Every structure is written in structure tokens, then in C-alpha cells.
Structure 1
Amino acid sequence: MELEQNNYLIAAAVCCVLAALAHAGCILFGADWYRFFGAGEAMAQMAEKKLWYPTVVTAGITAVLLIWAAYALAGAGVLSGLPLTRTALILISAVFLLRGLAFVWLMPKFPENSLTFWWVSSSICLVIGSLFAIGTVQRWQVLSSSA
């Protein structure tokens, strides 16, 4: 059975790749990018000092975003062979949606991040989480109706 293309999950994958590129840009271009994206002065200063922490944290986020993009493409029928695709898509949707909604509780834990960072990043997370959630539900409906 050939799967119908799922544009919501493809859009989610594109968003994840773009977010991963922005994070990779912080690693490559340093403190100014951390400041521009509102990651906080502490991260920017650590990047200026060439400390390992910003690079490792940002590389980890980049890797996760790329893995999540691959799962979105697997759910969309573009890639195949990823294990537990449905479960992963549900969890990814939940993480993005929770991150988007929970910023009020996260803000005090990261006081260096700007208010702009929290509003923009939380909005982006809500959009990407919605794309994942809608695409996942749509994929299940397609699979259920063809069974």
C-alpha cells in the first residue's frame, strides 16, 4: 500500500530542519547568533570564550531536531524504516506543544533568556507541535480508512 503524501508532516520536517540550521548557525557563527536568537548573555559569553557547554547543548538540540525531522518524513511516507514512528510522532507532538505552552513555568529557570526569545520560540513550538499533531492524526485516519 502506497501512503498518500502528508503535507502537515512534511511542513513539520521542514520547520525542524530550519530550526536545526538556526541552531547550527549559533555554533558556527558564535556569540552574536546566540544573542540574536535570545539564548541569553551567559550562553553568548561562554561561546565567546570558546567553552564547550554552548556547543554541546546546541549540537544536541540540533541533532534532536534533525531526528524529529526524519520521523516527520517517515510519518509523511517520504522515508521508511524508522522504528516506532507513530509513537515517536505522538511524543514529538507532545514535547513541542508542552514546550510551547509551558514557557511561563520555564522562564524563571532560564532568567538569561529574553522575553522575546520566550514568545517567539514558544510560538514556533506551538506551530510545529500543531503540524506534527495534525499530520499524525491525519496519517492515522488515512491508515484506518484504508484498512
Structure 2
Amino acid sequence: MNNVLMAAAIMSFFAAFLHGCIVLGGPEWYRFFGAGEGMAQMAEQGRWYPHIVTAGIATVLAIWGVYALSAAGFIIPLPLTKWVLVGITTVYLARGIFGIVAINMVNHPYLIELREQQTFMWVSSLICTVVGLTHAVGLYQVWSKLN
């Protein structure tokens, strides 16, 4: 069993759990976790959109955790594990590395709003980079064993 990928799985499951907590926590949680004022206001208005999007993200993150468990050898092999893990690693690293760049270079209303939350962006980008690097190291360690 690969302990690095086990750690990566735990990180993805924790991120999924936090996204679930955001849905339950409501508008202030959307604000705190950087979902944007628009998402927070929609949650205040009782709209389902922010909850569906956030629950969808939580589901994807949980699936990523399952794939990391599979690659770690903790559960049965899943289809295309090697290539799914490459994609997961790429997404985490891209979010981590380009998150700060995007908010400072792209003039989109949501990204402009995030410029005012530099601490959140730096912390979340660092977390995503660490999670991505954890996946990358684990993937490197088991590469030849994966389908």
C-alpha cells in the first residue's frame, strides 16, 4: 500500500467534507471559503444553484479520493486509474500554481472580487499545490503498477 497516495486520498476526502459543510453552513460559509458574494447571496435567497454546484464539487473531490485509494492499493483497481490520477494531479497543481496569477491578470468579476481576498487565495493555492504535489509523488511511486 502506498502511504503517499493514502495521504492524498485523505486530503481529497477532507476537501469534499469541507464542501459539504459549506452547503450546510449557508451563506456565511460560502463567503468565508471564497465562493464569492454572488453564491452567498443566492444561498441567502434560497436558491438551489450554489448548493448544487458545491455538492457537485464535493462529489468530484470524493471520487478523486476513491481513485487515490485505488492507486494506493487500498481498494480494488478502478478503470483508467493511472490517467485519472494524472488528470487529478494536473487540476490540483494548476489551481495551486495559477490561482494567484489568474486573479491578478484576468478581469472577470469573480476573479476581481477574489483580489480582495489575497490571504484566502494564497492559503488555498498553497493547499492545492501541496495536495497536487502529494498526488504527483504518490503517482510517481506507483506508476509502473497502474493500469
Answer whether TM exceeds 0.5 for this pair.
yes
1:120 and 2:117 matched: no
Residue 105 of structure 1, CA deviation: 4.0
Residue from 59, 64, 78 that aligns with 2:60: 64
Q: Would you say the 8 A contact 1:39–1:112 is kept in 2?
A: no
Deviations 1:6-32 (A, max 9, x none): 111111111111111111111111011
- Separation in structure 1 between the aligned mates of residue 119 and residue 39 of structure 2, nearest angstrom: 16
- Separation in structure 2 between the aligned mates of residue 51 and residue 106 of structure 1, nearest angstrom: 28
| 1:79-118 matched pairs, under 5 angstroms | 79-107=75-103, 108=106, 109=108, 110=110, 111-113=112-114, 114-118=117-121
Residue from 114, 120, 137 that aligns with 1:134: 137
Please give the TM-score of this superposition, normalised by the length of structure 2.
0.87
Q: Which range is displaced more, 32-41 or 131-140?
A: 32-41
- Separation in structure 1 between the aligned mates of residue 70 and residue 92 of structure 2, nearest angstrom: 18
Q: Which range is displaced more, 98-107 or 6-15?
A: 98-107
Identity %: 49
After superposition, the Cα gap between the structure-2 partners of 1:15 and 1:53, relative to the gap in structure 1 and judged at 3 Å, is same
1:39 and 2:39 matched: no
| 3-state SS, counterpart of residue 102 of structure 1 | helix
Residue 140 of structure 1, CA deviation: 2.0
Deviations 1:28-79 (A, max 9, x none): 1101111221222221111111112211210111011001000000000011
Residue 115 of structure 1, CA deviation: 1.8
Gaps of 5+ in 1: none
Please give the TM-score of this superposition, normalised by the length of structure 1.
0.87
